[in-house]
Structure 1
């Protein structure tokens, strides 16, 4: 299977995994010549906070894609991937992280999704749930998990 589209899903907790996520995606997408869809999903409250921090008028016609493009972690990752010569498209979403990542993967016809997360004990997963696990179980394509500290 040829990789044409790799979706890199980043969220609020991925700031400390930027290097690992970026290196993984560049290693996978670069040789394949794949387009990278850099997706950031905001929770409802987080989206309102970020719009305010970015000084976006609450009445302004702005999409989640526009807000994601201005988000610092997304800008940092995009800059690194652009420098590596990769084609990058930014997508934003609002709502449940796992659900929206899966939806965006379907909308973009992704061949692979890359998600980050941290190691948890089996008990931790049972008590707190796992967004990455939700993506792995529901994505329309294979998923690569990049473990952080």
Structure 2
């Protein structure tokens, strides 16, 4: 199976693991010549807070894609991927992280989804976090899980 589209799913907790996620995606997408869909999903409250911090009026006609484009973590990851010569498309979503990642993966016809997660206790290592697990179980394609160091 040739990789044409790799979806890198980002959320509010991925700022500290953006380097590991970016490196993983570059290692996968770069040699394959795949496009990376950089998707940032915001919770409802987070979306309102981010719009306010970015000084975007609530009645302004902007999409979640527009807000994601301006989000600092997305800009940093995009810049690194651009420098590596990888085509990037930015998508934004609002709502339940797992559900929206799965929806965007389907909309973009992703061949692979990459999600991040945190280190867990020895007991917790037996089970992924509920969000990552939801994406793994419901995505329309394989999922790669990148754990922060």
Whether the TM-score (by the shorter chain) exceeds 0.5 is yes
Q: Which residue number in structure 1 is paired with residue 113 of structure 2?
A: 113
The answer for unaligned runs of 5 or more in structure 2 is none
Contact 2:42–2:97 (CA under 8 A) maintained in structure 1: yes
The answer for unaligned runs of 5 or more in structure 1 is none
Deviation per residue, 1:91-117 (Å, 9 max, x gap): 000000000000000000000000000
TM-score by length of 2: 0.95
Counterpart CA distance in 1 for 2:76 and 2:59 is: 27
The 3-state SS of whatever aligns with 2:89 is strand
Q: Which residue number in structure 2 is paired with residue 63 of structure 1?
A: 63
Contact 2:4–2:33 (CA under 8 A) maintained in structure 1: yes
The 3-state SS of whatever aligns with 1:65 is helix
Q: Which residue number in structure 1 is paired with residue 51 of structure 2?
A: 51
Deviation per residue, 1:62-103 (Å, 9 max, x gap): 000000000000000000000000000000000000000000
User: For residues 11-90 of structure 1, what are the structure 2 equivalents within 5 Å?
Assistant: 11-90=11-90
Deviation at 1:120, TM superposition (A): 2.6
Q: Which residue number in structure 2 is paired with residue 100 of structure 1?
A: 100
In the alignment of these two chains, the number of paired residues is 149
The runs of at least 4 consecutive aligned structure 1 residues that moved more than 3 Å come to: 121-126
TM-score by length of 1: 0.95
